[in-house]
């Protein structure tokens, strides 16, 4: 029941959560659910951590809120100093906010301010087709998901979009798989030149595509080629690590798989593992110093929050102490193997892809042609509902194939997931797919 809540599940009577521990959640009737998606690929250290709750309470008892322009907070200073060495950003400066969309908005403003401070009138940001970077106006502008953008197009700012490394539906089949990176870089360069290099402020992308395209891992030559083009034309690189950060892909950050050193990095979700609404915009020292000289016209009421920093620090300590980044890599190999064992031969499973503990299953009507199911069939939603009946919580996404059609199941369990629970996830996915598609 939702009462007077403006529900995100209109028309559905949701069970009420009573508690959780590790990778498990329980509702008020006592029913148990295995959280195979960490909510929305958020929960990293697991549910029910008294350690994080105690850190939040301790900071709130000391002081809950001070405005970030009036007083500094010890918890935020400690958090930034502890996180800094783990970030794939040179001489990083951390601007904490309340979530991923705010982090993206902040990064876009930083990029614009950076170029203005250098005397350059650059404003255009290039994103990728099919990408998702958040639901606020600026974040939607640079996103490439047509279905999410369509109702708000009259409000969205200018942005351009280049190709995405979506290997299952590669836009460059003649070069696939070798040489795809060079082709994507060539497409980006052509777009920059067409728009005028003097107008292009930044390029934004997820190191590994998140929910929108379903854990698409780019070919190894992609990021070196893309960053080289950006450097050539003075375009800032913004790495969207909202979903891929804090150990999700088996490295601290998705950028680490290819040695990417972005100018700006945005993170959220796993930063506080769902215990607090925490997002981060991280600027390189060079970007930060340039922006500070000009003055940064930006502010958010709940940015630089002392309690949020305490939550983030507690989560970071657990990730490090318990080796959860390494665990994500290990459990990810098991998840990959068992997904292929249980689903690779299913007539409606087109692709299984991912890295670490971020995986996706793309469902198709025809494996030979890769034709997606019609959107009105609501295949992903039916499978998620069937899985829930089995006590398994999945995440889904739609529109990957055509912008409207294309069904994905996305897996991102807490990094504390056990081997037995990995097996339960893969077998549960197979059962839910059979149940939903048996007719």
Q: What is the 3-state secondary structure (H, E, C) of 232-256?
A: HCCCEEEEECCCCCCCCCCCCCHHH
Confirm if 308 and 137 have CB atoms less than 8 A apart: no
Interatomic CA distance for residues 201 and 439, integer angstroms:
50
Token pair of 424, please? 């339960």
Q: Is the dihedral of CA 244, 248, 253, 254 positive or negative?
A: negative
**Opening angle at CA 399, ends 142 and 346, nearest 5:** 140
Range with lowest mean pLDDT among 169-178, 194-203, 306-315: 169-178
Burial class (CB in 10 A: 0-12, 13-18, 19+), 167: middle
**pLDDT given for residue 176 in this prediction:** 65
Average pLDDT over residues 54-80: 97
Range with lowest mean pLDDT among 4-8, 57-61, 110-114, 358-362: 4-8
Token pair of 386, please? 């069937």
Mark whether 377 and 420 lie in a shared domain: yes
Which of 269, 286, 321 represents a domain boundary (last residue)?
321
Residue 151: alpha-carbon gap to chain centroid: 23
Say yes or no to pLDDT of 83 above 70.
Answer: yes
Mark whether 295 and 338 lie in a shared domain: no
Confirm if 103 and 268 have CB atoms less than 8 A apart: yes
Query: What DSSP character marks residue 174?
Result: T
pLDDT band at 317 (very low <50, low <70, confident <90, very high): very high
**pLDDT given for residue 205 in this prediction:** 98
Residue 11: inside a domain: no
Mark whether 76 and 41 lie in a shared domain: no
Summarize pLDDT for 394-428 with one digit per residue, the tens.
Answer: 999 999 999 999 999 999 999 999 999 999 999 99
Mark whether 263 and 401 lie in a shared domain: no
Beta-carbon contacts of 169 under 8 Å, excluding residues fewer than 6 positions away, are 370, 401
Return the closest-CA partner of residue 353 out of 219, 155, 174: 219
pLDDT band at 435 (very low <50, low <70, confident <90, very high): very high
* The dihedral formed by the CA atoms of 68, 70, 74 and 80, expressed in degrees to the nearest 10: 40
**pLDDT given for residue 79 in this prediction:** 98
**pLDDT given for residue 177 in this prediction:** 64
pLDDT band at 439 (very low <50, low <70, confident <90, very high): low
Residue 17: alpha-carbon gap to chain centroid: 24
Residue 8: inside a domain: no
Average pLDDT over residues 267-271: 98
**pLDDT given for residue 4 in this prediction:** 86
Average pLDDT over residues 152-174: 92
Range of the domain at 144: 52-321
pLDDT band at 9 (very low <50, low <70, confident <90, very high): confident
**pLDDT given for residue 39 in this prediction:** 97
Q: For residue 346, what is the domain's CATH number?
A: 3.90.1150.10
Token pair of 184, please? 């994507």
Which of 303, 321, 339 represents a domain boundary (last residue)?
321
Interatomic CA distance for residues 236 and 122, integer angstroms:
11
Say yes or no to pLDDT of 2 above 70.
Answer: no
Average pLDDT over residues 43-49: 98
Which of 267, 301, 321 represents a domain boundary (last residue)?
321
Sheet architecture: strand order including 407-411: 349-355, 358-363, 407-411, 395-398
Residue tagged 């322009």 (tokens):
69
Mark whether 97 and 36 lie in a shared domain: no
Mark whether 264 and 310 lie in a shared domain: yes
Residue 338: inside a domain: yes
Mark whether 241 and 366 lie in a shared domain: no
Say yes or no to pLDDT of 147 above 90.
Answer: no
Q: What is the mean pLDDT of the chain?
A: 96
Instruction: Count how many domains the chain has.
Output: 2
pTM across the whole model? 0.97
Q: Is the dihedral of CA 194, 198, 202, 208 positive or negative?
A: positive
- Helices 324-343 and 306-321: crossing angle, nearest 10°? 70
Percent of all residues in the chain with a pLDDT value above 90, rounded to a whole number? 93
Q: For residue 102, what is the domain's CATH number?
A: 3.40.640.10
Beta-carbon contacts of 438 under 8 Å, excluding residues fewer than 6 positions away, are none
Mark whether 39 and 84 lie in a shared domain: no
């Amino acid at each position: 029941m939702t009462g007077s809540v403006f529900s995100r599940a209109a028309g559905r009577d949701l069970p009420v959560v009573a508690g959780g521990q590790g990778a498990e959640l329980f509702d008020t009737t006592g029913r148990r659910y295995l959280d195979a998606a960490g909510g929305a690929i958020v929960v990293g250290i697991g549910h029910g951590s008294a350690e994080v709750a105690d850190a939040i309470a301790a900071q709130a008892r000391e002081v809950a809120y001070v405005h970030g322009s009036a007083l500094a907070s010890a918890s935020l200073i400690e958090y930034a100093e502890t996180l800094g060495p783990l970030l794939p950003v040179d001489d990083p400066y951390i601007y904490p906010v309340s979530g991923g969309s705010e982090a993206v908005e902040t990064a876009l403003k930083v990029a614009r301010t950076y170029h203005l401070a250098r005397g350059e009138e650059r404003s255009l940001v290039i994103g990728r087709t099919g990408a998702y970077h958040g639901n606020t106006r600026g974040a939607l502008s640079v996103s490439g998901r047509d279905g999410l953008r369509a109702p708000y197009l009259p409000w969205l700012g200018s942005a351009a979009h280049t190709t995405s490394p979506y290997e299952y539906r590669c836009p460059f089949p003649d070069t696939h798989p070798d040489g795809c990176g060079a082709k994507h870089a060539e497409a980006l360069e052509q777009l920059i030149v067409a728009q005028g290099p003097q107008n292009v402020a930044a390029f934004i992308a997820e190191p590994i595509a998140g929910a929108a395209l379903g854990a698409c891992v780019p070919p190894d030559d992609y990021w070196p080629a893309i960053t080289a083009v950006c450097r050539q034309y003075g375009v800032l690189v913004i790495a969207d690590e909202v979903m891929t950060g804090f150990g999700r892909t088996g490295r601290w950050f998705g950028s680490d798989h290819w040695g990417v050193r972005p100018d700006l990095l945005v993170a959220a979700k796993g930063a506080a593992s769902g215990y607090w609404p925490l997002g981060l915009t991280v600027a390189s020292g060079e970007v930060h110093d340039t922006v500070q000289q000009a003055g940064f016209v930006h502010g958010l009421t709940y940015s630089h929050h002392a309690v949020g920093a305490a939550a983030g620090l507690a989560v970071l300590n657990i990730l490090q102490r318990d080796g959860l980044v390494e665990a994500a890599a290990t459990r990810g190999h098991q998840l990959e193997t068992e997904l292929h064992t249980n689903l690779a031969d299913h007539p409606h499973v087109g692709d299984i892809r991912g890295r670490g503990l971020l995986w996706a299953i793309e469902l198709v009507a025809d494996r030979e042609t890769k034709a997606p199911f019609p959107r009105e069939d609501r295949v992903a939603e039916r499978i998620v509902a069937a899985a829930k009946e089995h006590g398994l919580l999945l995440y889904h996404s739609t529109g990957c194939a055509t912008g409207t059609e294309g069904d994905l199941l996305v897996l991102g369990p807490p990094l504390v997931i056990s081997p037995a629970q990995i097996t339960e996830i893969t077998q549960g996915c197979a059962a839910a797919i059979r149940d939903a598609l048996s007719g």
